[in-house]
Amino acid sequence: MVYVRPDGQVVGSGAELLAGGAGNGTLQSGIWQAGNGTYPNDPSLPDDAWTGQTTLTQAGNTASTCNDWTSTSSVSGIVGVYGTADSTWWSLITRPCTDTGSRLYCIEQ
């Protein structure tokens, strides 16, 4: 399977996403286009996206997903950087669940 942004730019194959999501590789292009076709460009917002896990091959848990994305009172959740194609696109740091400026990656199982 090849994953493509709405503008037609190839992001990567399933294998490349899995390798990059485990911190072991880069993508062909970053995921910096929203599903509606717009390009996030607000410098006041963080350039990260909630992932909920440090690797793409495991589901997140209550703590790493801010209680399955329903809580703003949990301590923190895991985010990656959508503006890059290097290994940080999936997992870089944790952010407080009160951070409402981050986006959310949705990856089909």
CB 20, CB 87: distance < 8 Å: yes
Alpha-carbon distances of 60 from 14, 44, 48, 82, rounded to whole Å: 19, 28, 17, 18
What integer best gives the mean pLDDT of the chain? Answer: 81
Three-state secondary structure readout of 28-66: CCCCCCCCCCCCCCCCCCCCEEECCCCCCCCCCCCCCCH
In 3D space, the residue among 33, 26, 25 whose CA is nearest the CA of residue 9 turns out to be: 33
Q: Can you give the pTM of this predicted structure?
A: 0.75
Output the CA torsion sign for 23, 28, 29, 35. negative
| Coil, strand or helix at 69 | helix
Does residue 94 register a pLDDT over 70?
A: yes
Give tens-digit pLDDT for 10-56: 988 888 887 776 667 788 888 878 778 887 766 666 678 888 888 88
76, 95 contact by CB (below 8 A):
yes
What confidence score (pLDDT) does residue 46 get? Answer: 64
